[in-house]
């Protein structure tokens, strides 16, 4: 059993169902599955099973089509976040040992910067371009035969390397095997959106390299359609919902906040929506209540991470309704109930299980959990202990199995649904010649949930402006990770062993 089978089965059952819906083209399951088989075959002539093939695309159907073709050929997909800096892409491509990359033409210049430094990447395949010596994507689709390919793929074989920002400043590649992805599909259809059917249309409005891309798999499993939003703007979102009669989408809480606040919400027909799935960052109760008032009982929450993808816990649309009806609003502040595929334990600092109601680290075991990080035994051993994935999230389980997240052990900042590790930003700022010390924290932000704030101690006799520090970050890491605020301070609060007390920075300075 492997993930590639789902598309081929859906194409046989519902050949005329739309697989991809774009503004100028609709591709049926029959045609789409043939294109994927052709692309798999072409890729097998360039690389071999088990090779890593990276993806760097905007939200367009070829990005997910290629993802399916890579996995269906028994290769390992490495989807990369388009918002990362070129040096971060370079690290991921080198670390994963990627041999081929498929990218959309708008990233040609960006990749040109690092191309000469990546001898391991032998094949460069460009979507909608081909003037830079790269292979044209459509040529790969058109030239190969479209008959069935049957690579031998085992459930434990790797399918997807999900690179997360690392606490140590280096991204880590969580290995999602075929078993993990199949379990994710089952949990989605069982506990997140059990009403998903072959007439549905999923709108990929959030980046397809992340949670929205994960939603592709259960939708393909039931032969539902997939539409795309190139850029997230409320007006464009509502227009696509009305045009494609969208039933499902995956959004970060900040995106739901923007949609609810937009006057466009009242101008378009959104009656087709039935599963608006949110997750990736905490949802504020006020935002959720306004969203429910505006769009009706269409919201489902998921809690997961790259290391245990998509659903460790879920709060279904029915549970949202019941929480409101029964006046149990605390359920809406939870991340829902633990899904059947995993066991969750709350462990203390010595890895001892804590009773219900007590705070500790959320740890997860089961078929949804990654076997480890790619080529990173140290990080794997720190994160997976005796089969238990240590999520880095702090929370508790109540008597009814509702899981609550209260904190993040790793100090991660979530801004607009994107994870930012303070350590990574601190490492950059610390390299500035005027900086003696730095500490980075997340501060509440109305629009983005959290934003990045840096506290900087300058070297004696040196000066620097906040803008200069922000620009310096932009030159070295993804722009979304740069601080929004820089405050210059004489000292940083520290404990007796010299560890910076971020808790104090948070309480003192807000
Ligand atoms: P990623 O691996 O990029 O998907 O990020 C996963 C992290 O996002 C989790 O470990 C949590 O800290 C956070 N997260 C995911 N879903 C939720 C949620 N529903 N509520 C609060 N935080 C969440």
Encode pLDDT of 466-500 as tens digits. Answer: 999 999 999 999 999 999 999 999 998 876 656 67
Residue pair 371/156 in contact by the 8 Å Cβ criterion: yes
Q: Is the CB of residue 305 below 6 angstroms from any atom belonging to ligand 1?
A: yes
Ligand 1: distance of its center to the CA of 361 in Å? 14
Site of tokens 């030159």: 475
Nearest CA to ligand 1 atom 4: 305
CATH of the domain at 256: 3.40.50.12780
Kindly state whether residues 203 and 346 are assigned to the same domain.
Answer: no
pLDDT digits (tens, 9 = 90+) for 173-223: 999 999 999 999 999 999 999 999 999 999 999 999 999 999 999 999 999
Give just the sign of the alpha carbon dihedral 308, 63, 163, 486.
negative
Say yes or no: 48 and 124 in one domain: yes
**Is the CB of 280 within 6 Å of ligand 1?**
yes
Alpha carbon distance 4, 71 (integer Å): 6
Look at residues 371, 387, 408 and tell me which one is the last residue of a structural domain.
408
The answer on 369 and 457 residing in a single domain is no
Q: Which atom of ligand 1 is nearest to the CA of 391?
A: 10
What tokens does 24 get?
A: 């100028």
Q: Alpha-carbon torsion 74, 187, 82, 377, what sign?
A: negative
How many angstroms does the Cα of residue 304 sit away from the middle of ligand 1? 6
| Residue span of the structural domain in which 296 resides | 5-318
Average pLDDT, whole number, for the chain? 93
Dihedrals phi, psi of 318, to nearest 5 degrees: -60, -40
Indicate which CATH number applies to the domain containing 439: 3.30.300.30
Q: Is 335 in the pocket of ligand 1 (CB under 6 A)?
A: yes
On whether both 192 and 255 belong to a single domain, the answer is yes
pLDDT tens per residue, range 406-464: 877 777 898 988 888 887 898 889 889 999 889 999 999 988 999 999 999 999 999 99
Q: What is the Cα–Cα distance from 430 to 476, expressed in whole angstroms?
A: 12
SS3 label, residue 420: strand
Q: Say what the pLDDT of residue 275 is.
A: 98
Ligand 1 pocket, 303 CB below 6 A? Answer: yes
Query: In DSSP terms, which residues pair with 397 in a beta bridge?
Result: 403
Pairing of strands 123-127, 135-136: parallel
Nearest of 341, 298, 348, 343 to residue 318 by alpha carbon: 298
371 and 477 co-located in one domain = no
Residue 278 and residue 166 share a domain? yes
Residue 282 CB–ligand 1 contact under 6 Å? yes
Give the number of other Cβ atoms within 10 Å of residue 218's Cβ: 25
**Same-domain check for residues 388 and 430:** no
Residues 458, 396 within the same domain: no
Q: Is the pLDDT of residue 510 over 50?
A: no
Note whether residue 355 is domain-resident. Answer: yes
Residue 123, in any domain of the structure: yes
Among the candidates 389, 408, 427, a domain finishes at: 408
């Amino acid at each position: 059993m492997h993930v590639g089978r789902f598309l081929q089965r859906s194409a046989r059952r519902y050949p005329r169902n739309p697989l991809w819906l774009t503004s100028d083209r609709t591709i049926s399951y029959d045609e789409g599955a043939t294109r994927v088989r052709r692309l798999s075959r072409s890729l097998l002539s360039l690389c071999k099973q088990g090779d890593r093939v990276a993806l760097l695309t905007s939200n367009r159907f070829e990005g997910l089509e290629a993802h399916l073709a890579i996995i269906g050929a028994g290769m390992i997909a490495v989807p990369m976040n388009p918002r990362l800096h070129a040096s971060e892409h370079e690290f991921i491509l080198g670390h994963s040992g990627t041999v081929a990359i498929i990218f959309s033409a708008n990233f040609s210049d960006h990749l040109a910067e690092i191309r000469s430094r990546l001898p391991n990447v032998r094949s460069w395949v460009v979507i909608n371009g081909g003037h830079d010596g790269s292979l044209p994507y459509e040529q790969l689709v058109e030239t190969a035969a479209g008959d069935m390919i049957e690579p031998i793929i085992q459930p434990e074989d790797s399918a997807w390397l999900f690179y997360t920002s690392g606490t140590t400043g280096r991204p880590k590649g969580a290995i999602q095997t075929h078993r993990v992805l199949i379990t994710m599909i089952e949990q989605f259809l069982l506990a997140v959106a059990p009403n998903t059917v072959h007439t549905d249309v999923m709108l990929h409005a959030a980046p397809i390299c992340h949670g929205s891309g994960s939603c592709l798999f259960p939708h393909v499993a039931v032969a539902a359609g997939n539409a795309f939003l190139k850029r997230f703007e409320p007006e464009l979102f509502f227009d696509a919902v009305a045009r494609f009669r969208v039933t499902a989408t995956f959004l970060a809480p900040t995106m739901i906040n923007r949609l609810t606040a937009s006057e466009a919400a009242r101008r378009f027909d959104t009656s087709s929506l039935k599963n608006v799935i949110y997750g990736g960052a905490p949802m504020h109760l006020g935002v959720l209540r306004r969203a429910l008032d505006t769009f009706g009982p269409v919201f489902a929450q998921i809690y997961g991470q790259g290391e245990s993808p998509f659903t460790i816990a879920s709060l279904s649309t029915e549970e949202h309704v019941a929480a409101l009806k029964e006046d149990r609003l605390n359920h809406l502040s939870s991340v829902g109930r633990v899904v059947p595929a995993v066991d969750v334990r709350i462990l203390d600092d010595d890895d001892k299980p804590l009773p219900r109601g007590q705070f500790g680290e959320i740890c997860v075991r089961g078929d949804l959990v990654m076997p480890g990080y790619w080529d990173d035994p140290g990080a794997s051993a720190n994160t997976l202990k005796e089969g238990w994935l240590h999520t880095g999230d702090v929370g508790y389980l109540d008597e009814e199995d509702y899981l609550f997240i209260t904190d993040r052990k790793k100090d991660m900042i979530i801004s607009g649904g994107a994870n930012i590790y303070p350590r990574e930003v601190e490492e950059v700022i610390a390299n500035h010649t005027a900086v003696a010390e730095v500490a980075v924290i997340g501060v509440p932000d109305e629009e983005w949930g959290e934003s990045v704030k840096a506290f900087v101690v300058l070297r004696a006799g040196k000066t620097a402006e906040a803008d200069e520090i922000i620009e310096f970050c932009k030159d070295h890491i993804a722009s979304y990770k740069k601080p929004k605020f820089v405050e210059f301070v004489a000292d940083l609060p520290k404990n007796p062993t010299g560890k910076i007390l971020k808790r104090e920075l948070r309480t003192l300075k807000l």
